[in-house]
Amino acid sequence: MKESGIPFRKMAFVCVHERAGEAACANADRGEDSGANLVELLREEIHKRGLKGKIRVVKSGCLDVCAAGPNVMIFDGEGKAVYFSRVAAGDLPAIIAALVSG
């Protein structure tokens, strides 16, 4: 086994967990604010900015904070983490700013 830092400048984990009958990050009733849609929108923006391979957007399973969802967690190579809750598509500029800063 070889241990090293993360191979990207930053990584964003976006919950795409669905749970029938309960609030969950990617349930269809969230529409454009569902975790699955947020992943695609974030990936498109990272690609447009030429940051593919430097910043990684990852589909995550349940982050265990469904009531506060949709949820996004950002980690950088220095060990710093930022957590965003109740994320909507309109919040993506702030999340992009957090991803590209530093």
- Whether residue 93 is predicted with pLDDT greater than 80 in this model: the reply is yes
Which residues share a beta bridge with 83? 73
What pLDDT, on a 0 to 100 scale, did the predictor assign at position 87? 94
Q: What is the mean pLDDT of residues 91-98?
A: 94
Residue whose C-alpha is closest to residue 46's, from 98, 102, 7: 98
What pLDDT, on a 0 to 100 scale, did the predictor assign at position 77? 84
What pLDDT, on a 0 to 100 scale, did the predictor assign at position 47? 96
Per-residue CA distances from 70 to 2, 48, 79, 85, 96 (Å): 34, 23, 23, 6, 16
pLDDT tens track for 57-81: 999 998 888 888 899 999 998 889 9
Q: Which two tokens stand for residue 87?
A: 């994320």
Domains recognised in the chain with CATH numbers: 10-100 (3.40.30.10)
**Helix (H) or strand (E) segment spanning residue 48:** helix 35-48
pLDDT tens track for 2-39: 998 888 999 999 999 887 777 777 777 788 888 899 99
CB 17 within 8 A of CB 61: yes
Q: Which two tokens stand for residue 25?
A: 């990050």
What pLDDT, on a 0 to 100 scale, did the predictor assign at position 79? 83
